Structure 1
């Protein structure tokens, strides 16, 4: 199968070795750098660095890690729901999402377009519009299999640190409820506006890494499949 360039949309941020990522990302190049330019690189990589997928092992010592989470459950049809206009720390509610009820199908990957990807790597990358429990219950009632956002997180707000960073509610009920229902979570997506008004096929492909609760990944939307 041959794809046209306009069918493929990358939904992942690049990782930059400039010390500005919000989670650890450091690259060291080893080996020769002479006329042949033969090197090998060693990378220190945080599991939640960049655009990443989170799986049950994040909150359950017996839950599936990134290696054992079924890859088929990270591939499927995707619908993007517009949640723009929310203030930092404001809830995305069931009422916000019910207007899209006729667009959501069982087994869908659902991505929330908040527009907060524009703050990626900025000092004010948090706070973000979070997902309320009633919004999650609405999505789960539609039998979704992945929940994603272009903001830096989905969890319920429980105040702020002195530096202005959000404190996520202790126990992270949005995460736990998702994982108990075999719903993976994707955070820090980008370019969702490019596919907002259509259904696409999305591939979420982390490296199958053992004992990892999350992993950065290249996420691709393909139009017209």
Structure 2
């Protein structure tokens, strides 16, 4: 079994979406020598989940999302070759229908080494979001701070969140091979939250020792 950490590390230098509060980590030490850190950060800092309440006035808050949505089989799709917005045609080309949890690896994962926000990251179009809803996807993740283009007006989020699709943003999928994994993604348990940072990992099961990973012969 191999575990892949696909979360970004929260620090003072982590970029944030324009308008969001930047993270601040302030170390403290009392007279007895005990160390603590004062944390100041937004609910959509780094690797985080969007709850419907992020955009919808009567949307469910994060604590209402069942944990079963956040743990289970998922597909990592490789879209790094596309430089523009990710549309329905690009998703259809990869034959992703049938996956309930879908993580999109794009060229965005290369941006995490930069301290500044990169406005021309790859995001979904509204048509692509509608296609995911039609396919029955109930969790979709992407490797930058928003699943929607920086110039978007919320339509991508709205289509997904109104359909009950959980949005996982701020992933780092650099070095992750496209394929099937188990996703474990648990947010901070914050009451009535519109979103929260989380630790997201992928788990892949190694092939049995002594057997080839792929074979077509019979018997093996």
Q: TM-score range by the shorter chain?
A: 0.7 to 0.9
Question: Could you tell me which residue of structure 2 aligns to residue 112 of structure 1?
Answer: 104
Runs of 4+ in 1 over 6 A off after TM superposition: none
What is the 5 A alignment of 1:122-141? 122-141=115-134
- Could you tell me how far apart the structure 2 residues matched to 1:122 and 1:85 are? 23
Specify every segment of 5 or more residues in structure 1 that has no aligned partner in the other structure, as ranges. 158-165
2:165 counterpart of 1:167 = no
Alignment RMSD (CA, Å): 2.1
- Could you tell me how far apart the structure 2 residues matched to 1:148 and 1:220 are? 12
Please give the per-residue CA displacement for 1:113-151, whole angstroms capped at 9, x wherever unaligned. Answer: 112122134335222122112222222222111111113
Question: Could you tell me which residue of structure 1 aligns to residue 161 of structure 2?
Answer: 179
What is the 5 A alignment of 1:56-205? 56-87=52-83, 90-101=84-95, 103-106=96-99, 108-120=100-112, 121-155=114-148, 157=149, 166-169=150-153, 172-191=154-173, 193-196=175-178, 198-205=179-186
Summarize the Cα distance change of 1:223–1:64 in structure 2 as closer, same or farther, 3 Å threshold: same
The count of residues paired between Structure 1 and Structure 2 equals 201
Specify every segment of 5 or more residues in structure 2 that has no aligned partner in the other structure, as ranges. 207-220
2:18 counterpart of 1:26 = no
Aligned-partner SS, 1:117: helix
2:46 counterpart of 1:50 = yes
Question: Could you tell me which residue of structure 2 aligns to residue 161 of structure 1?
Answer: none
- Could you tell me how far apart the structure 2 residues matched to 1:99 and 1:168 are? 24
Question: Could you tell me which residue of structure 1 aligns to residue 5 of structure 2?
Answer: 10
Q: Structure 1 stretch 123-132 or stretch 204-213: which is displaced more?
A: 123-132
- Could you tell me how far apart the structure 1 residues matched to 2:31 and 2:142 are? 40
- Could you tell me how far apart the structure 2 residues matched to 1:206 and 1:145 are? 16
